[in-house]
Amino acid sequence: MKTQKIKSKADMVAIACAVIAAVALVNYAAGKFFYRIDLTENRQYTVSGATKRILKGLDDIVAVKVFFSKELPPETHATINAVRDILSEYKNIAGGKLRVTWEDPAESDEIRGMAMSLGVPEVRLQTFKRDKAETMLGFMGIGIMYADKKEAIPVVQNLKNLEYDLTQAIMKVKRSSVPKIGVLKSQSADFIPPDIGARMNMGDERTEKRFAPLFESFKRDYEVVTVDVSEGKPIDKDIRTLIIPGGDRYTERTLFEIDQYFMNGGNLIALVNAVTVSFQYGVQGTVRETKLMDLLEHYGVRVERNMIMDASCGQVQVPRNLGLFTIQELLPYPYFVRITRGGFADDNPVASSQSELMLGWASSLTLAPDTSGKHKTATVTLASSSEQSWEARGEFDLSPKASYELPDKEAMGRHAMAVHVNGAFVSYFDGKPVPPAKEKSAEDEGDAISRINLAEDDRNRAVTPSNKSGNLVVIGDANFISAQNASGPNVAFLFNLVDWLSLDENLISVRSRVLEDKTVDPNILEAGSSKPGIIRAINLLLMPIVVIIAGVIISLRRREKNGQTAEGTVQTVAKDS
């Protein structure tokens, strides 16, 4: 009997040692080979392949400091867990090249100062205590450092774009050179001709003044250059993204240089509308066809010859006489389309993070048929007007009014105001000769020397017939980023677009995590409806009953099995006796 007890103790010790060894082995393997299964719909917790490529390509240590206060409202716990999870996965994928530390700025002034220097501010957070709304101060930001470079996510509040924001910040601190973006010199009739501007020593001043917010906002992260194609010279291939800020005076050679830049791997952002606004006799709009619109239509985006009006709109100040006084009255102005959260693409990190965008005197965009049959592209609407918007065509009287006549509901609906086209494009000039660098005047027709010079300029030029993976963004407003219209959200939208297109091809493939609301449709929770009661009964009663029944069945089966075993043992003992 004692020998059996000793053996039993030895077996228990052996089993305990084996379990401890197995747990240790599993922990070691989990640390070396991180893996987790994402069973959520749309794989919300899976890091994209693009992010994995970037993290595995790190050649030196990148430090990530998470500045989260320990005393935070309960409502932020989901955010804290999400940040902890994704950074754990980043750290394991990077293989030791990503160092993550969590800091509480409340612990010392040194940590607080570090957070502030990295661009992580102290923010006001709302919480509820004893059925009362209260505010508290806290930190909820992340700083990313590499050598002497630093980036920050000031406040982590949009979990849909958390992966995009982190990956973008890591790419920014790791880049070895400052990317270059270009702004096409304005091609409008209202600008001073190049020869007169040169005599006045103005150069590109008009373009830089008109789009001053664009140049000012981008110069910290990019080298911004004004691109002049009036001499027929190729656009610098080092320019990652070219912004075309509207205009209506485009020659065939201008289109050729834009097209060939695009075919050779450049990214395009075209700001264009089809209606020109004049203030000479009141505020009037006139449709004006431009060659740029033909180029975009060839790429698959048609700029409609209309103006969009929207019930979700901005306001304008209108003078009003009150006796001897004149006051400025604010009136809603449907021609200023105000796009809010519901109008942005949820699956795009640039658009989904946008809260507002104001477009004035804007035209809608539609898909143009592929007449060549060679394009292999996909189009995504980045921003659209509200469901209570409609189009105006023909005569455009843009003077503000006290009231506007609304169309029938059937005529209302969303209109695409900004689109992204990605894929393989065919050149607008495929199969065509290279256009001359300068338009010939009547005097040049008989000038043999001029013809020779024009031919020599293009002797070594050839048409690149297509690209493999081009990115084109078209916005139906040519002036939303000009000095007088450049609100904070407008500048942020364009800046985020440039980041998205210019930093790296990998960044474009990082999508927003679509966080779907799985709560019951509120429309069915109406007064007097039986559905709420059924749903509550299922959640509160049915599931526990199922668990209890399963437990009873398992218990009865065990008793039956134990009874059969005991009966067999008694019969064996009786036979032995």
Lowest mean pLDDT segment, chosen from 174-183, 317-326, 507-516, 547-556: 507-516
The Cα 574–Cα 577 span in angstroms is 5
Report the pLDDT value the prediction gives residue 429, as an integer from 0 to 100.
95
More confident position, 197 or 571: 571
Pairing mode of beta strands 284-287, 275-278: antiparallel
Percent of the chain with pLDDT over 90: 40
Helices (H), 33-189: 49-56, 77-94, 109-118, 162-174
More confident position, 1 or 339: 339
Q: 244-283 burial, b if ≥16 CB within 10 A, otherwise e?
A: bbbbbebbebbbbbbbbbbbeebbbbbbbbbbbbeeeeeb
The Cα 515–Cα 24 span in angstroms is 36
Token pair listed for 40: 């959520």
Which H, E and C letters describe 409-433, residue by residue? HHHCCCCEEEEEEEEECECCCCCCC
In 3-state terms, what secondary structure has residue 476? coil
In the numeric block, the tokens 């590109």 are attached to 204
In the numeric block, the tokens 């469901």 are attached to 387
> Is residue 568 left, alpha or beta, with left meaning phi > 0 and alpha meaning psi from -120 to 50?
alpha
Per-residue pLDDT averaged across 110-139, rounded?
84
Per DSSP (E only), the strands in 199-306 are: 223-227, 239-245, 267-271, 275-278, 284-287, 301-303
Q: Note whether 114 and 107 are within 8 A (CB).
A: no
More confident position, 210 or 40: 210
Closest by CA position to 413, among listed 379, 381, 370 = 381
| pLDDT of 189 above 80 | no
| pLDDT of 569 above 60 | no
The Cα 41–Cα 115 span in angstroms is 36
Report the pLDDT value the prediction gives residue 442, as an integer from 0 to 100.
45
Confidence of residue 204 (pLDDT cuts 50, 70, 90): very low
Per-residue pLDDT averaged across 540-559, rounded?
81
Report the pLDDT value the prediction gives residue 381, as an integer from 0 to 100.
96
Euclidean distance between the first and the last CA atom of the chain, given in angstroms as a whole number: 21
Q: How many CB atoms lie within 10 A of CB 553?
A: 10
In the numeric block, the tokens 């180029």 are attached to 295
Report the pLDDT value the prediction gives residue 69, as an integer from 0 to 100.
92
Amino acid found at 42? N
Q: Would you list the domain boundaries of the chain?
A: 1-33, 42-173, 180-508, 527-577
Q: How many CB atoms lie within 10 A of CB 324?
A: 5
What's the count of helices (H) and strands (E) in the chain, helices before strands?
Answer: 16, 23
Token pair listed for 54: 């970037």
| pLDDT of 570 above 60 | no
Q: Note whether 121 and 154 are within 8 A (CB).
A: yes
Closest by CA position to 100, among listed 143, 140, 141 = 143
Instruction: Give me the chain's average pLDDT, please.
Output: 81
Q: Note whether 424 and 469 are within 8 A (CB).
A: yes
Closest by CA position to 513, among listed 349, 308, 366, 311 = 349
Residue 533's alpha-carbon distances to 522, 544, 545, in angstroms, are: 14, 16, 17
| pLDDT of 345 above 60 | yes
Percent of the chain with pLDDT over 70: 79
The Cα 183–Cα 205 span in angstroms is 12
DSSP 57: T
Per-residue pLDDT averaged across 492-508, rounded?
84
Per-residue pLDDT averaged across 438-457, rounded?
52
Q: Note whether 101 and 65 are within 8 A (CB).
A: yes
**pLDDT tens-digit map of 239-297:** 999 999 888 789 999 999 999 999 999 999 999 989 988 887 778 888 988 999 999 99
The Cα 74–Cα 127 span in angstroms is 8
Helices (H), 60-148: 77-94, 109-118
Report the pLDDT value the prediction gives residue 198, as an integer from 0 to 100.
41
More confident position, 242 or 200: 242
The angle at the Cα of 441, spanning 439 to 446, to the nearest 5 degrees, equals: 115
Report the pLDDT value the prediction gives residue 481, as an integer from 0 to 100.
87
The Cα 358–Cα 482 span in angstroms is 12
CATH number (3.30.460.80, 3.90.1150.10, 3.90.190.20, 3.40.30.10) of 42-173 reads: 3.40.30.10
Cα Rg, the chain, nearest whole Å: 33
Report the pLDDT value the prediction gives residue 523, as an integer from 0 to 100.
47
**pLDDT tens-digit map of 159-188:** 888 988 999 899 889 888 889 999 998 755
Bridge partners of 241, per DSSP, are 181, 267
Query: Is pTM beyond 0.85 here?
Result: no
Bridge partners of 267, per DSSP, are 241
Highest mean pLDDT among 112-121, 126-135, 371-380, 436-445: 112-121
Confidence of residue 439 (pLDDT cuts 50, 70, 90): low
